Amino acid sequence: MLRNKTISNLRTGAGLGLLVLSLAACGEGPGDPTGSTCPDDSTLTWETFGEAFVTNNCSRCHASQESPRLASQRDVQGNIDIIDRVAASGPNATNTFMPEEGEVSDADRKKLGEWLACGAP
């Protein structure tokens, strides 16, 4: 189970290499791992947080063949490290590279970091 592991200890998704290469070509790169952790009492799940976050902030660009594809909970679970490094916030970093359009509150970025650290259940 992924609970109580930090994001930096989670396996890097295969899409991270593609993202890093494409961002490097633009002169930009993903941020640092947030260091978010999963508290034992976390209530964040796909149903209570993740689905709405992804729908509101990721789907307009990443619902089809964009790399990484983020159309489902499984897609998110396969790209935890990428998402953490471009959109989440935690004690070690606040990453605001994504979404390119729209605003995400600091509170929601922290929730995203926590949810990802829990394995995006």
**Domain membership flag for residue 24:** no
Tell me the residue ranges of DSSP E strands in 45-96.
none
**pLDDT at position 29, please?**
62
**Domain membership flag for residue 13:** yes
Angle between helices 80-87 and 106-117 (to 10 degrees): 160
Note whether 115 and 51 are within 8 A (CB).
no
**Domain membership flag for residue 66:** yes
**Domain membership flag for residue 26:** no
**pLDDT at position 9, please?**
40
**pLDDT at position 60, please?**
86
Q: From CA 120, how far away is CA 42, in angstroms rounded? A: 11
**Domain membership flag for residue 64:** yes
Q: From CA 49, how far away is CA 112, in angstroms rounded? A: 8
**pLDDT at position 25, please?**
38
Tokens at 22, concatenated = 């494409």
In which domain, by residue range, is 94 found? 7-19+31-117
Per-residue pLDDT tens listing for the chain (121 residues): 444 444 444 444 444 444 443 444 344 568 999 999 999 999 999 999 999 999 999 988 888 766 788 989 999 999 999 999 999 999 999 999 999 887 999 999 999 999 999 999 9
**Domain membership flag for residue 91:** yes
**Domain membership flag for residue 25:** no
Please state the domain count of the chain: 1
**Domain membership flag for residue 2:** no
